Amino acid sequence: MKILVGMKRVVDYNVRIRVLSDGSGVDTDGVKMSVNPFDEIALEEALRIREAGKAEEVIVVSAGGDACQQQLRTGLAMGADRAIQIQTSEGLQPLSTARAFLKIIEREDPGLVILGKQAIDDDNSQTGQMLAALWDRPQATFASELILNGNSARVTREVDAGLETIEIDLPAVVTVDLRLNEPRFVKLPDIMKAKRKPLDVFSMEDLGVAIEGNIEIGHHTPPPQREKGIMVEDAAQLVEELKNRGLI
Amino acid sequence: MTEREIMEYDVIIVGAGPAGLSCAIRLKQLKPDLMVAVIEKGAQIGAHILSGAVIEPEPLDQLLPGWRENPPPVCVPVKKDELWFLRKNSRIRLPTPPQQKNHGNFIVSLGSMCNWMAEKAEALEVDIFPGYAASEIRFDENGAVGGVIIGDMGVDIQGNQKTTYMQGIEIHAAMTVVGEGCHGHLSKQLIRKYELDKDCDPQTYGIGMKELWQVQPGRSKPGLVQHTTGWPLDSKTYGGSFIYHLDKDRIAIGFVAGLDYEDPEFAPFEAFQQMKHHPMVHELLEGGEILSSGARAIVEGGYQSLPKTEMPGALLIGDAAGMLNVPKVKGTHQAIRCGMMAAEHISEFASSAGFDAKLRDSEIVKELYKVRNIRPAFYQGFWRGFIRAAIETITMGKLPGTLPIHADHSTLLKRDVYTAPDRQWVDRDLSPRDRLASVYFAATEHDEDQPVHLKILEPDICTTRCVEEYDNPCTRFCPANVFEMVADSRVNNDSGLRLQINAANCVHCKTCDIKDPYQIINWVTPEGGCGPNYQNM
């Protein structure tokens, strides 16, 4: 069985995001970029499945400019066997990404597709679900446990009410949550090995997918700044101040 | 413990700063077949680099001819120099000393310049590994340096292996080049082991703090370089500020205080914040937004404090040895020159022997010799230092005699014999509010479940002698609020205090290791990839 894993290049989670003054987006000048943390968890799970002898090959896929090859190399250094870049200079919306991934699925015929539950930049949480629908295969989202049983999988999902366990037929799309596993560190010699692993590049035209934008982005604004607080002497003054502001 | 995995290189360079990257680039230019690797503890190249920075471009012209057509991301030609002496509410323009004239120089972000240099090195097939800390030196069977050992990852705070545990590998190399920058973790061990400092004075340091600001349109005058001295420092404390006007309405502002200060109650971070509230600076920053902040110790000892830079199997380059030119307020050109010189030496002789003599005969050390008496002249206070500095400058260091340098940890006076001067500090309104807020802009990150990387060798001293004698100066000299004394009823000592180390806040500046009067703080490398994530610093 082959496992396909998505890897998105995103602004690192440690970076303090700054909205550009014209509201057109987020400042990425000199900003550290890394693999979407949920995608790292997805890859870790795929590697563990392969190491358990339940899959033969793990392929990492990313859609983006050439810079995203850096994240694919990270995936290869973690242990993926090969990588595919869907090359595009335009930012893709989830539906276009899902359509492009579907084309890769048609070429590779994987038994399982594992994606992060969402990317930490746009927080859409849509690509996995759309991909399952386009592919017409089952989906199990927000997985915190994944057990493969031949042609099916038992997936524990993190839902609002707690945990839900479902059984799905394979092939399927699984999107993963934070508690599924803790990704491994990359070993130095593996970084060198990753440089020699195959990385194929397809353009959106090669795949025959038109880039569409069904979401129109108005503008970006930073959250309002917290105003300076005041120190109150006692509870009575606190009540007074709250009353003055019409809060109680 | 299992045998460590091994990687072999001809040359391993520790630290992807200007010195290390210049060395790597030059090595591959001279001998493309050499296997060269650079190891860097920052999560990406430039993440742990913090500097002003105005640079002299000549060494870069030699290393990367044609770089001016394709400059690093932040690179503004200097147009004008100003030096100001500040009083609380006024200022006096001082003549710009010749060393500080910056015509032909560039204001850069050294962090983004290093990232840019790393791309050039990678294009020459240097293997660059950010996110891995060289935590130990590997010695070969003859007692020579034979490479480095990478720190283990995935170890919990008690020292146990976590599920993600990964043993660090050994990197074996015929030549190890240590370019860790000021007061490096391996450098200090090598200096001790090979007694590299036995014929020189102790090293002396400063703490530099820097912020990058996006200011109101029109307030930044791209290419303007301003330096200040005076307020908020008293005349006994050496230091001052830099204000570098960048493009795109950005200003790099920073403050350096000599770590040989005497006042146990002095707080360098607060002095920096005060300086920002001088009317001249406040009007620049008001209404602006802070983008990034951080701190780093810098070497100030110069000629007298320069240790021997060679030992069997290894070289110290750049500020790991200490090549910064204090009167120029610059070290990058020295670091690049030294990195190149190390590369030229290694490619010719494949040995460290003879490098130190060559270095001492070079422009690098000649430049330090000329200005050798300027920094220690300020031991006698600002104005006497200023006059001596002028004389030394006019005579180009040719007057006989060399003033000695003292060790910073020995200069702090005990609280019973020192009364802090009235610093006339003002109420502040500019960001950041305090050190914790400042750390936020350094984007520093450490997995909290790892061994504390600030090792206190004799913890009892903190709660007994130090609290009495110096009032725990670590709680003030650390710019990241790593050290806190907290009241704890469970402790069994007279002070009722316990030292709490907030290691996750650390910005890797090394000030604690330098200034602690008892020399019981040992800064060691945390897990690779931890620490600040500076952007355009």
| B509 catalytically annotated | yes
> Hey, what domains does chain B have and what are their CATH numbers?
6-68+112-200+307-370 (3.50.50.60), 374-402 (no CATH)
CB B20 within 8 A of CB B37: no
pLDDT score for B247: 94
How near does any CA of chain A get to the CA of B46, in Å?
10
Chain A residues within an 8 Å CB radius of B47: 32
- Catalytic status, residue B506: yes
**Which chain B residue is nearest to residue A182, measuring alpha carbons?**
B164
Q: Measure A181 CA to nearest chain B CA, in Å.
A: 10
In chain B, which residue's Cα lies nearest the Cα of A225?
Answer: B289
* Facing residue for B443 by CB, picked from A16, A29, A192: A16
Q: Which of A32, A182, A189 sits opposite B5 (nearest CB)?
A: A189
- CATH number at A108 reads 3.40.50.620
Strands B497-501 and B521-523: unpaired
- Distance (Å, whole) CA B405 – CA A106: 72
Write out chain B's pLDDT in tens, 537 residues: 578 999 999 999 999 999 999 999 999 999 999 999 999 999 999 999 999 999 999 999 999 999 999 999 999 999 999 999 999 999 999 988 888 899 999 999 999 999 999 999 999 999 999 999 999 999 999 999 999 999 999 999 999 999 999 999 999 999 999 999 999 999 999 999 999 999 999 999 999 999 999 999 999 999 999 999 999 999 889 999 999 999 999 999 999 999 999 999 999 999 999 999 999 999 999 999 999 999 999 999 999 999 999 999 999 999 999 999 999 999 999 999 999 999 999 999 999 999 999 999 999 999 999 999 999 999 888 888 888 888 988 888 888 889 999 999 999 999 999 888 888 899 999 999 999 999 999 999 999 999 999 999 999 999 999 999 999 999 999 999 999 999 998 888 888 999 999 999 999 999 999 999 999 999 999 999 999 999 899
Helices (H), B350-472: 355-360, 363-370, 374-377, 382-394, 435-442, 459-461, 467-469
The answer to whether residue A48 sits within a structural domain is yes
Q: Which residue has the tokens 């690098």?
A: B364
Active site (annotated) includes residue B478: yes
Under DSSP, the state recorded for B375 is H
Whether residue A240 lies inside any domain: the answer is no
> Does A31 reside within a domain?
yes
Q: End-to-end CA distance of chain B, in Å?
A: 40
Backbone dihedral region of A8: left (phi > 0), alpha (psi from -120 to 50 degrees) or beta?
A: beta
Catalytically annotated residue among B337, B478, B511, B530: B478
Per the CB < 8 Å rule, is A14 touching B7?
Answer: no
A169-187 residue pLDDT tens: 999 999 999 999 999 999 9
Report how far apart, in Å, the C-alpha atoms of A15 and of each of A28, A125, B43, B428, B479 are: 10, 21, 12, 26, 20
Please give the torsion angle defined by the CA atoms of residues B48, B54, B59 and B64, in that order, rounded to the nearest 10 degrees.
Answer: 70
Pick B164's closest partner by Cβ from A14, A184, A189.
A184
Given the residues B22, B51, B204, B444, select the one marked as catalytic: B51
- Give the side-chain half-sphere CA count within 13 A for B424: 12
Domain contains A112: yes
In whole angstroms, what is the distance from residue A80 CA to residue A61 CA?
10
For residue A230, the model assigns a pLDDT of 85
Q: Beta strand B483-487 with B497-501: parallel, antiparallel or unpaired?
A: antiparallel
| Chain B residues touching residue A30 (CB < 8 angstroms) | 73-74, 109, 111-112, 115, 535-536
Determine the 3-state secondary structure of A149 from DSSP: strand
Q: Do B163 and A185 touch (CB under 8 A)?
A: no
Q: How far is B240 from chain A (nearest CA, A)?
A: 28
Q: Say which of B132, B163, B536 has its CB closest to residue A30.
A: B536
Residue among B237, B238, B227, B233 nearest B281 (CA): B227
Q: Is B332 a catalytic residue?
A: yes
B320: which residues sit within 8 A by CB, 6+ positions away? B15, B19, B178, B179, B180, B181, B182, B184, B187
SS3 A144: strand
pTM for the predicted model, two decimal places: 0.93
The CA distance from B349 to B144, in Å, is 16
Q: Omega before B400 cis (within 30°)?
A: no
d(CA B518, CA B166): 35
Give the single-character DSSP code of B371. T
- Among A30, A185, A187, the residue with its CB nearest the CB of B112 is A30
Taking only the tens place, the pLDDT of each residue in A10-32 is 999 988 888 988 898 998 877 88
Quick check: is A230 in a domain? no
CB contact under 8 A, B533 and A15: yes
E strand intervals along chain A? 2-6, 9-11, 33-35, 57-64, 82-87, 112-116, 139-149, 152-159, 162-169, 172-176, 199-203
Q: Which residue has the tokens 């190149």?
A: B340
A178 found inside a domain? yes
Residue B462 bears catalytic tag? no
Number of domains in chain A: 1
* List of chain B residues whose C-beta atoms are within 8 Å of the C-beta of residue A187: 5, 166, 169
Indicate whether A67 belongs to any domain: yes
B535 to A192: CB separation less than 8 angstroms, yes or no: no
Tell me which of B229, B332, B352, B511 is the catalytic residue. B332
- The ipTM value here is 0.87
Chain A partners of B111 at a C-beta cutoff of 8 Å? 30
The pairing of strands B521-523 and B454-456 is: antiparallel
Pair A37, A58: CB distance under 8 Å: no
The reply to whether residue B535 touches residue A32, judged by beta carbons under 8 angstroms, is yes
- Structural domain that includes position A160: 2-213
Chain B residues within an 8 Å CB radius of A21: 214
Q: Residue B7: which of A31, A32, A188 has the nearest Cβ? A: A188
Using an 8 Å CB-CB cutoff, list residues of chain A that contact chain B: 12, 14-16, 18, 21, 29-32, 182-185, 187-189, 191-192
Catalytic position from the list B372, B506, B511, B525: B506
Q: Is residue A225 assigned to a domain?
A: no
Q: How many CB pairs under 8 A join A and B?
A: 57
